[in-house]
Amino acid sequence: MKDSIFAAPNPSLQPFAFDENVAEVFPDMARRSIPGYEVIISTIGKLAAEYARDDTLIYDLGCSLGAATVSMRRNLQSRRVKIIAVDNSEAMIRRCEGILSSYVSDVPAEVRLGDVADMEISNASVVVLNFVLQFIPKEKRSDIISNIYNGLCPGGILILSEKLRNDDPVMEELLTQRYFDFKRSNGYSELEISQKRTALENVLVSDTWDEIRKRLNSAGFSHADRWFQTYNFCSVVAVKQPQM
Ligand code: GEK
């Protein structure tokens, strides 16, 4: 279904929320609003196939409708793993359950309603945080990344995708304008772009790449870099040092 949530003028705009209306149009919204969304989802599947280990868990944190989980299930060679997909939006989780049960797969997946900040993570070989941390209060982000690091097995990976903020106002403006062009070329009007931007203020709070890198390093990840970036959207892979 087409995303037209911000198409009509709304003088009493509410802060953006992952409610029923958003869940209903989410696949279209994600594809038209996140540069590289499809490439990132398909690469998550490939990375999971390479890094998943038998008898471990895979976490899809902030799973929305489970696109990353579907991609991982398609690519995983082993059945001796289980995916735990979590989101704190009831509307997303309800639909995610329906979507996952409609795909035949040998890889077990459990869908949970819950907050990423309260998740117990253990025995993980792959953890996915695909455009989620940016919606979580900044003061909780370091603990979440440390919790993931501690719950990963040696050699395990975190795939972290985020919209970046640039410290340099000239670059911030340049990349933001390129991003708005991307949205225009995907059929969003000036009104839709500007109303969504207003609704996301203080809801999506971006970090700089430097903040993200420092947070990953302080948690213990000694290897971390962006494997994808278009405009101000990036995806990072961070590896927990394998045991020598
Ligand atoms: C995808 N990963 O398609 N705990 C759990 N879930 C949360 C929290 C939280 N504290 N905060 C936000 N969410 C998906 C796309 S969308 C990205 C992720 C976007 C959830 C929120 O309910 C929503 O479903 C998701 O994070 C963000 O690969 O819309 O830009």
Mind listing the pLDDT tens digit for each residue in 160-219? 999 999 999 999 999 999 999 999 999 999 999 999 999 999 999 999 999 999 999 999
- Per-residue H/E/C for 65-99: CCHHHHHHHHHCCCCCEEEEEEECCHHHHHHHHHH
What is the reported pLDDT for 136? 98
pLDDT of 244 higher than 80? no
* pLDDT (tens digit per residue) in 110-142: 999 999 999 999 999 999 999 999 999 999 999
Give 164's DSSP letter: B
CA–centroid distance, 241 to ligand 1, in Å, is: 27
Computed from CA positions of residues 34, 114, 206, 201, in that sequence, does the dihedral angle turn out positive or negative?
positive
**How many angstroms separate the CA atoms of 109 and 60, rounded?**
10
Among residues of the chain, what percentage have pLDDT more than 70? 100
The two tokens of residue 227 are: 């494997």
Please tell me the predicted confidence (pLDDT) of residue 118: 98
**What is the CATH number for 102?**
3.40.50.150
Pocket flag, ligand 1, residue 161 (CB < 6 Å): no
Domain count, the chain: 1
Residue from 3, 5, 18 whose mutation best tests the ligand 1 pocket (most atoms within 8 A of CB): 18
Distance 56 CA to ligand 1 centre (A): 23
Q: Is 88 in the pocket of ligand 1 (CB under 6 A)?
A: yes
Contact 127, 59 (CB under 8 A): yes
Q: What is the whole-number distance in angstroms between the Cα of residue 244 and the centre of ligand 1?
A: 35
pTM: 0.98
As a residue count, the chain comes to: 244
The residue range of the domain holding 173 is: 1-244
